[in-house]
Amino acid sequence: QVQVVESGGGLVQPGGSLRLSCTASGSIFTLDVMGWYRQAPGKQRELVAVTTSGGTTNYTDSMKSRFAISRDSAKNTMYLQMNSLKPEDTAVYYCNAQISTAWGTGDYWGLGTQVTVSI
pLDDT in tens, the chain (119 residues): 899 999 999 999 999 999 999 999 999 999 999 999 999 999 999 999 999 999 899 999 989 999 999 999 999 999 999 999 999 999 999 999 999 999 999 999 999 999 999 99
Give, in order, the Cα–Cα distances in Å from 104 to each of 11, 60, 84, 107, 108: 38, 29, 40, 10, 12
Measured distance CA(20)–CA(29) in Å, rounded: 24
Write down the pLDDT at residue 1.
87
Q: For position 16, what pLDDT does the model report?
A: 98
- The bridge status of strand 10-12 relative to strand 2-7 is unpaired
For residue 59, what are the CA distances in angstroms to 25, 30, 44, 46, 47?
25, 23, 17, 11, 8
**pLDDT of the residue at 43:** 97
CB-CB contact of 18 with 91 (8 Å) = no
